[in-house]
Amino acid sequence: MTVRPPDQLDRQIFDAVQRLGSATIQQLLGAVHEPPPLRTVQRRLKKLCDKGLLAKQGSRRDAFYRLPESNP
């Protein structure tokens, strides 16, 4: 069973990553309804990664986000 984040924006980001398999920040900005500022998405992605809901691969410009190998 997949755990979903409670916040609407977090949920949109999580659902987009789940749907796409993996995604860059730019892809996520295009996938969410009424995209917020870039910095907001960066903060939310960090929070989702810290909670273990997403995993980050790469760094800086080459980074993409995916579901972790085993979702808690």
Q: Which contacts (CB < 8 Å, 24+ apart) does range 15-21 have? A: 17/54, 17/65, 17/66, 17/67, 18/67, 21/66
pTM for this predicted structure: 0.84
- pLDDT over 90 at 70, yes or no: no
58 is in which domain, residue-wise?
Answer: 8-66
In a domain, residue 3? The reply is no
Size of the chain in residues: 72
Instruction: Look at the chain and report how many structural domains it folds into.
Output: 1
- 55 sits in which H/E element: strand 55-57
Higher pLDDT, 38 or 70: 38
CATH of the domain at 27: 1.10.10.10
In a domain, residue 28? The reply is yes
67: left (phi over 0), alpha (psi -120 to 50) or beta: beta
What pLDDT, on a 0 to 100 scale, did the predictor assign at position 71?
Answer: 52
Taking only the tens place, the pLDDT of each residue in 6-42 is 689 999 999 999 999 999 999 999 998 888 999 999 9
